[in-house]
């Protein structure tokens, strides 16, 4: 199994590659989204490839000739200062802060300390995660989360490992522990051609979710939004010729999950 890469020695600063203010697409209300850089997975379809490496790196925009450095170390105080600038908007819109990535749990000690500081300000926190971290770390982290978008990429451990580089065992284990802790969450499955889009995959996902107590999921059709970023990073993108999927391509997949008793959100609605 791949070694867990949480930076457990130092959490005075976190590696952040973007702070997006006034977001209305990453949870309820108006939100500030903190994008954490670094991910232990290597999904070939990743739409944010600049988020994967746990170090600052250059991106070169060939259209305008600009080179930018992606990723900056920031302290909790620096991030809190930015977050608090929009407190009034969070309160008026029932919004808050969203942790995104990369994989937030790749910097778990820092993220937990940041979450504690945000909760002290009584601000709502959502995270987007695939839950790949040690169970004890995960249990501590979720204490501070008001809601989670939890990505499950494959029901089968071998297929998960072959595509992403890591097994899904921890991911499923931690999902079960979030469910047992009655955390509010939405499981999301990115549906990727020739990886997990067969109807037999839908049936297996259905069995898995039924067994562990997931009652609703969101399907995210494969898209090509990250295409140019690979060029800017000077990296090969092995999925560049793969056709994008649309909600209508996933209706049969949805039906199979529905037949297993799982409610399915697709294209924004159930």
Residues near ligand SF4, by CB under 6 A: 39, 41-43, 46, 48, 51-52, 101-103, 130
- For the chain, strand residue ranges (E) read 13-23, 31-36, 57-60, 67-70, 72-75, 96-100, 125-129, 147-151, 185-191, 216-221, 263-266
Q: How far is CA 76 from CA 82, 113, 194, in A?
A: 10, 8, 41
Tokens of 122: 């009584």
Q: How many CA atoms lie within 13 A of 88 on its CB side?
A: 1
Cβ proximity to ligand SF4: between 95 and 131 the closer is: 131
Shortest gap between Cβ of 181 and ligand SF4 (angstroms)?
A: 22
Round to whole Å and give the CA distance between 246 and 241: 16
| Closer by beta carbon to ligand SF4, 236 or else 248 | 236
In a 3-state reduction of DSSP, which class is residue 47?
coil
Give me the residues paired with residue 266 across strands. 219, 269
| Nearest distance from C-beta of residue 169 to ligand SF4, angstroms | 16
Q: Is 117 exposed, middle or buried (0-12, 13-18, 19+ CB in 10 A)?
A: middle
- State the minimum distance, in angstroms, from the CB of residue 38 to ligand SF4: 9
Least distance from C-beta 74 to ligand SF4, angstroms?
19
Query: Which CB, 171 or 208, lies closer to ligand SF4?
Result: 171
Closer residue to ligand SF4 (CB): 42 or 139 = 42
> Is the Cβ of residue 46 or residue 83 nearer to ligand SF4 in the bound state?
46
Is the CB of 33 or the CB of 256 nearer to ligand SF4? 33
What angle, 0 to 180 degrees and rounded to 10, lies between the N-to-C axes of helices 135-142 and 169-180? 40
User: Cβ closer to ligand SF4: 225 or 248?
Assistant: 225
Answer for the pair 67, 60: CB distance below 8 angstroms, yes or no: yes
Least distance (Å) between residue 52 CB and ligand SF4: 5
In the bound complex, what is the minimum distance in angstroms from residue 224's beta carbon to ligand SF4? 14
Under a CB-based contact definition with an 8 Å cutoff, are residues 90 and 123 in contact? Answer: yes
How far apart are CB 226 and ligand SF4 at their closest, in Å?
9
How big, in percent rounded to 5, are the helix, strand and coil portions of the chain?
35, 25, 40
Residue among 43 and 97 whose Cβ is closer to ligand SF4: 43
Residues 6 or more apart whose CB falls under 8 angstroms from that of 69 comprise 56, 57, 58
Q: Are 86 and 30 in contact (CB under 8 A)?
A: yes
């Amino acid at each position: 199994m791949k070694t867990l890469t949480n930076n457990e020695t130092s959490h005075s600063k976190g590696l952040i590659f973007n702070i997006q203010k006034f977001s209305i697409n990453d949870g309820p209300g108006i939100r500030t989204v903190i994008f954490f850089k670094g991910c232990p997975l290597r999904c070939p379809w990743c739409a944010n490839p600049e988020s994967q490496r746990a170090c600052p790196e250059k991106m070169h925009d060939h259209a305008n000739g600009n080179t930018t450095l992606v990723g900056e170390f920031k302290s909790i105080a620096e991030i809190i200062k930015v977050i608090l600038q929009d407190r009034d908007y969070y309160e008026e819109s029932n919004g808050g802060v969203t942790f995104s990535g990369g994989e937030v749990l790749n910097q778990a000690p820092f993220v937990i300390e940041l979450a504690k500081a945000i909760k002290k300000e009584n601000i709502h926190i959502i995270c987007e995660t695939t839950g790949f971290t040690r169970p004890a770390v995960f249990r501590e982290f979720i204490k501070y989360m008001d809601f989670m978008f939890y990505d499950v990429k494959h029901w089968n451990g071998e297929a998960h490992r072959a595509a992403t580089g890591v097994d899904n065992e921890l991911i499923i284990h931690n999902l079960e522990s979030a469910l047992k802790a009655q955390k509010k969450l939405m499981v999301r499955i990115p549906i990727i051609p020739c990886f997990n889009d067969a109807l037999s995959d839908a049936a297996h996902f259905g069995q898995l979710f039924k067994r562990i107590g997931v009652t609703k999921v969101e399907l995210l059709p494969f898209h090509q939004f990250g295409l140019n970023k690979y060029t800017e990073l000077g990296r090969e993108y092995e999925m560049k010729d793969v056709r994008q999927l649309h909600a209508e391509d996933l209706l049969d997949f949805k039906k199979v999950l529905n037949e297993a008793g799982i409610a399915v959100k697709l294209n924004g609605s159930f």
